[in-house]
């Protein structure tokens, strides 16, 4: 076993790209169903199949179908609060130091919750755990039907910034609804001084990443398609843009067709600020430790490589400077002791 694998088992993990509704485990699903008065008669194996994609998942659109069930499990304030709390406790048990957990408040209104209701429920769950985390609010890709809801999400992100909310995002079917269509959403975010990341370069090409960067994004969710454009990559390196990569998810949504084709070495060698994340712990059946173990086995990562990846996450976090300094200190301490 490679020496670096022992380091991965240390308690110094960070996830900057983690979806609340995509990170529901079987026990969490049963608890949330109970809170919502919903019957789940599936066996654990059957429920696991409903929550996670199979190895033959073909694309992002098929991947997103797994969120149909989780949406039904997050329709009340009690469910949202409990989900946030249970996920934080799970992360603490797994050896995480910090995570940024994102969700789209406009997607939880089936039983009448407003966006404000959904945000306050998640923040209530956040406050119940001692695990250190921040909440990222997602705007959603779509047509005119989501426009006003997205602007409301931005305004609420501004209102709750510093109260548990740390940033804004744009998620959804990227190929169907191009990033460029959402320029006014992020113009408002900049006007209100709300930090943001944007899903880009996942189902769409380098042009999507360019659009996100033109809005002022300092982090890009996934962003792997940027490697198709050398000039764009030079810009990313020069401006210290962070890529929130999620290898297993990117394999499942066919951005790559083999783990060995994940451009890790190129990104590290070119000094790209790359981070490794789970995306959806439930849907993708993974976590940051598993992602790092996979990459270590394939690319023979050294201790220094893993330390760099984790430090990139610490430095890029939408967190206070004091918290980021503490994360850096704790990561360095783990590697010094390894």
State which residues form the domain around 42: 3-337
Residue 191 confidence (pLDDT): 98
pLDDT of residue 2: 42
Whose tokens are 């951005």? That residue is 255
- The domain that holds 26 is classified in CATH as 3.20.20.140
Name, in order, each residue with C-beta under 8 angstroms of 214's C-beta and a sequence gap of 6 or more.
none
Closest by alpha carbon to 74, among 106, 50, 98?
Answer: 106
Token pair listed for 279:
């995306």
pLDDT, position 3 = 52
Examine the residue annotation and report whether 250 is marked as an active-site residue of this protein: no
Render pLDDT for 1-25 as a digit per residue (tens, 0 to 9). Answer: 345 556 666 668 999 999 999 999 9
Exactly one of 75, 174, 202, 250 is catalytic; which is it? 202
Identify the sign of the CA torsion 283, 288, 290, 294. Answer: positive
Q: Which residues pair with 220 in a beta bridge?
A: 198, 243
Coil, helix or strand at residue 145 = helix
Q: Which residues contact 268 (CB under 8 A, 6 or more apart)?
A: 274, 305, 308
Confidence (pTM): 0.95
When divided into structural domains, the chain yields a total of 1
Question: For the segment 173-199, what is each residue's pLDDT rounded down to a tens digit?
Answer: 888 999 999 999 999 999 999 999 999
**What stretches in the chain show pLDDT beneath 50?**
1-2
């Amino acid at each position: 076993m490679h020496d670096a694998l022992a380091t991965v088992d240390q308690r110094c993990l960070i996830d900057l790209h983690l979806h609340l509704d995509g990170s529901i485990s079987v026990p969490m699903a049963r608890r949330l169903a109970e809170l919502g008065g919903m019957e789940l008669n599936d066996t654990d194996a059957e429920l696991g199949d409903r929550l996670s994609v199979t190895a033959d998942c073909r694309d992002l659109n098929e991947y997103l179908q797994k969120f149909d069930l989780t949406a039904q499990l997050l329709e009340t304030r009690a469910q949202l609060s409990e989900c946030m709390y249970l996920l934080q406790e799970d992360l603490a048990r797994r050896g995480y130091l910090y995570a940024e957990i994102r969700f789209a408040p406009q997607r939880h209104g089936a039983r009448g919750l407003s966006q404000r209701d959904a945000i306050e429920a998640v923040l209530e769950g956040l406050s119940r755990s001692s695990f250190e985390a921040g909440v990222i609010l997602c705007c959603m890709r779509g047509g005119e039907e989501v426009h006003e809801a997205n602007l409301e999400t931005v305004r609420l992100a501004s209102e709750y910034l510093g109260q548990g909310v740390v940033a804004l995002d744009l998620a959804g079917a990227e190929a169907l609804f191009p990033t460029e269509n959402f320029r006014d959403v992020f113009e408002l975010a900049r006007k209100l001084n709300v930090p943001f990341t944007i899903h880009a370069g996942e189902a769409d090409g380098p042009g999507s990443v360019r659009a996100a960067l033109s809005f002022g994004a300092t982090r890009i969710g996934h962003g792997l398609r940027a490697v198709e454009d050398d000039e764009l990559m030079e810009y990313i390196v020069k401006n210290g843009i962070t890529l929130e990569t999620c290898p297993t998810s990117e394999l499942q949504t066919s951005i790559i067709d083999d783990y060995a084709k994940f451009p890790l070495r190129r990104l590290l060698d070119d000094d790209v600020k790359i981070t490794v994340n789970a995306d959806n712990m439930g849907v993708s059946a993974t976590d940051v430790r598993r992602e790092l173990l996979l990459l270590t086995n394939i690319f023979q990562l050294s201790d220094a490589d893993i330390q760099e990846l984790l430090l990139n996450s610490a430095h890029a976090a939408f967190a206070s400077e004091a918290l980021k300094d503490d994360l850096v200190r704790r990561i360095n301490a783990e590697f010094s002791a390894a």
